[in-house]
Amino acid sequence: MSAVPSAVCAAMALAKRDLRVLWRRRADAVNPLLFALIVSALFPLALGPEAKQLARIAGGVAWVTVLLASLLSLDALFRADLEDGGLDALLVSGQPLPLLAFVRLATHWLTTGLPLSVAGPLLAMMLGLPVAAAWVLAASLLLGTPVISLLGGTLAALTAALPRSGIVLSLLVLPLTIPVLVFGAGAVDAAVLGLSPAPGLLWLGVCLALALPLAPLACAAAMRISVT
């Protein structure tokens, strides 16, 4: 009977710990949502309240807002652990690192991407997006925000050791998430125009299918590099 816990036990333990830490700082966890609300409000203020114009861009605005809001919480994803040695502990724990990385990325999505996927369509409807398109927006966000968490989290692991990592992280994450943005906003746009949103949603599915197995591996490699 080995004293080393199984990989699944370790994963559950990490998940519970991450969620507990985030719950203690739940005021901070709300920040991305507040940011999304404020940024969405900027657009009618800047562009004028003309309803048809706003409705036309509401899907794209929602997507950009969600992307930027996700960046806010990505920055701190690995920094605390790097500074207090928690990352070292994960590395020497003997547990499969990609699994632990996946847990970290998954809890990020649960606490940032998922709430944004719910808030996004509501914000877009406030800007005048028709309800049918709002459902497509919700679907695209549910497919796309995991990709943002997976990809963004990997890059956060890579930049965790840098002093001004927030800016560098944004410059790295935004170009790589452009395809997700294009597919997601494109699907909503198609719905608004009465066309089928299926192509955009399917391409988002492809991105997710690629990111799910590969990102944890890359994230584990990034964690190893950052710790040395």
Residues in contact with other proteins by CB under 8 A are 151, 154-155, 158-159, 161-162, 164, 168, 171-172, 174-176, 178-179, 182, 210, 218, 221-222, 225-226, 228
Least separation in angstroms between residue 76's CB and other proteins is 18
Q: How would you classify residue 158: left for phi > 0, otherwise alpha for psi between -120 and 50, otherwise beta? A: alpha
CB of 94 to other proteins, least distance (A): 21
Q: What Cα–Cα distance (Å) separates residue 62 from each residue in 24, 95, 115, 158?
A: 28, 39, 13, 28
Residue (100 or 173) nearer to other proteins, CB: 173
Smallest gap from residue 221 Cβ to other proteins (A): 6
CB of 79 to other proteins, least distance (A): 15
Distances from the Cα of 194 to the Cα of 112, 130, 136, angstroms: 30, 11, 12
For other proteins, the closer CB: 35 or 203: 203
- Cα separation, 204 vs 18, in Å, equals 27
3-state secondary structure of 130: coil
Q: Which is nearer to other proteins, 57 or 151 (CB)?
A: 151
Instruction: Pick the closer one to other proteins by CB: 123 or 220.
Output: 220
Q: Give kind and range of the element (H or E) at residue 60.
A: helix 51-74
